[in-house]
Structure 1
Amino acid sequence: MTPLSEDPSPLIGEDDRDTAVQRLQEAYAEGHISHEEMDECLHQVLTAKTHSELVSALASLPEENAGATSTIAAQSGRIQRRGAWRVPRILKVESAFGRVHLDLSRAVIEHPVVDIELQLGTGRAKITVPRDAIVDAEGLRTVWKDPHYKTRRRPRPGGPRIRISGAMGFGRLKIRHARR
């Protein structure tokens, strides 16, 4: 009979590792950890194989800012954000019936990765991202039509990564890069 592993913690995925690296970068940028601490923790995060190893690598960091998540919800009608608005780290958009238009082209994006979680019933959604943004919509489940998005031929380095996830019923998501 083989003994059970001492660490029953599940293996981590690349998304978990990316999130941990981002937390380290944010803690360093905000002055919560020194350069040496960041290097040490970054090594631990990049070599971690299980969830418990990842948690111990991040144990010295301050708690995540709860204000980094915002929810925009409407039963029906239009949800629209444009101009110079501050984009939270995690944006949840919920609408049963209606249109959604998020224009991030002139928005203030302070995080290297922004997660947009859509929970939409019917209606169209349009998201305009900055020219240099990298878009990942693999986490979005659709019932009726697939998202309409053409990836940029030559992505520019340094732009934010926009991850779109969630579920859409009967409607279509159109994602486009800003022209300027």
Structure 2
Amino acid sequence: MAPVPDDPSRPISEEDRDTAVRRLQDAYSKGQISHEELDDLLQQTLTAETHGDLGTALAALPEEKPDTSTIAAFGGRIRRRGPWRVPRKLKVDSAFGRVHLDLSRAVIEHPVVDIELNLATGRAKITVPRDAVVDLDGLQTVWKDSLYKPRRPSRPGGPKIRVSGTMGFGRLKIRHARR
């Protein structure tokens, strides 16, 4: 779950509530809270209406360690494809080269995946699952615009892929997998 915003009276979304429930279930499975605590905190979470309410329910949990990985190369090619595990946050740094991330057969365990691209030159291609939702609002391009045609998810519940960072003198192309 994201940190509590500056305005704790702001209403929560269903995504916020789902993330909080998963976090409580994870804490219980790791033995960090008892069954009784889980029941009480789930009740608070399911009835929470604001970020302040949700923050109160989750305050007793240990701090979440972000699942972050970095892939870096000065030159050459960065490629991930096939059945690979996608971390919650993926940072990709390349000065000169090409990047190809194929998430179509990857293991995606998180409802939201953040990919931070920091590319000086070269191009990047990302293939996302067919039912993924892609958000490019955090991406800055210097030379060329990104190529992406959003599609309507074929079934609900696909992952949300948020792409951010900076593209220098290259182009980002994103496409949905065909199968």
TM-score computed with the length of structure 1 as normaliser: 0.80
What's 1:134 paired with?
A: 133
The unaligned stretches of length 5 or more in structure 1 are: 1-8
Number of residue pairs matched by the alignment: 165
The answer on 1:28 being equivalent to 2:24 is yes
Q: Determine if contact 1:145/1:170 at 8 Å carries over to the other structure.
A: yes
Per the TM alignment, residue 155 of structure 1 is displaced from its structure 2 partner at its CA by 4.7
| 1:8-23 equivalence runs, <5 A | 10-11=6-7, 21=17, 23=19
SS of the residue aligned with 1:97?
coil
The unaligned stretches of length 5 or more in structure 2 are: none
SS of the residue aligned with 1:61?
coil
Query: What is the CA RMSD across the aligned residues, in angstroms?
Result: 2.5
Q: 1:154 to 1:108 in 2, by over 3 A?
A: closer
- The one-character-per-residue Cα deviations of 1:97-153 (angstroms, maximum 9, x if unpaired) are 100000000000000110001111100000000001111111101101111000113
Q: Determine if contact 2:116/2:164 at 8 Å carries over to the other structure.
A: yes
CA distance in 2, matches of 1:171, 1:144: 7
CA distance in 2, matches of 1:62, 1:75: 37
Q: 1:35 to 1:138 in 2, by over 3 A?
A: farther
Q: Determine if contact 1:100/1:124 at 8 Å carries over to the other structure.
A: yes
What's 2:65 paired with?
A: 65
CA distance in 2, matches of 1:159, 1:122: 31
Q: 1:21 to 1:96 in 2, by over 3 A?
A: farther
- The one-character-per-residue Cα deviations of 1:27-84 (angstroms, maximum 9, x if unpaired) are 234252625413413544x413x7xx76544312222134x10000111110000000
Q: Determine if contact 1:86/1:109 at 8 Å carries over to the other structure.
A: yes
Q: Which amino acid aligns with 1:159?
A: G
SS of the residue aligned with 1:159?
coil
The partner residue of 1:47 within 50, 71, 85 is 50
Q: 1:39 to 1:161 in 2, by over 3 A?
A: farther
Q: 1:98 to 1:42 in 2, by over 3 A?
A: farther
SS of the residue aligned with 2:148?
coil
What's 1:3 paired with?
A: none
Q: Determine if contact 1:135/1:164 at 8 Å carries over to the other structure.
A: yes
Q: Which amino acid aligns with 1:24?
A: A
CA distance in 1, matches of 2:77, 2:158: 28
What's 1:159 paired with?
A: 158
CA distance in 1, matches of 2:122, 2:97: 5
The answer on 1:38 being equivalent to 2:42 is yes
Per the TM alignment, residue 17 of structure 1 is displaced from its structure 2 partner at its CA by 6.8
Q: Determine if contact 2:122/2:169 at 8 Å carries over to the other structure.
A: yes
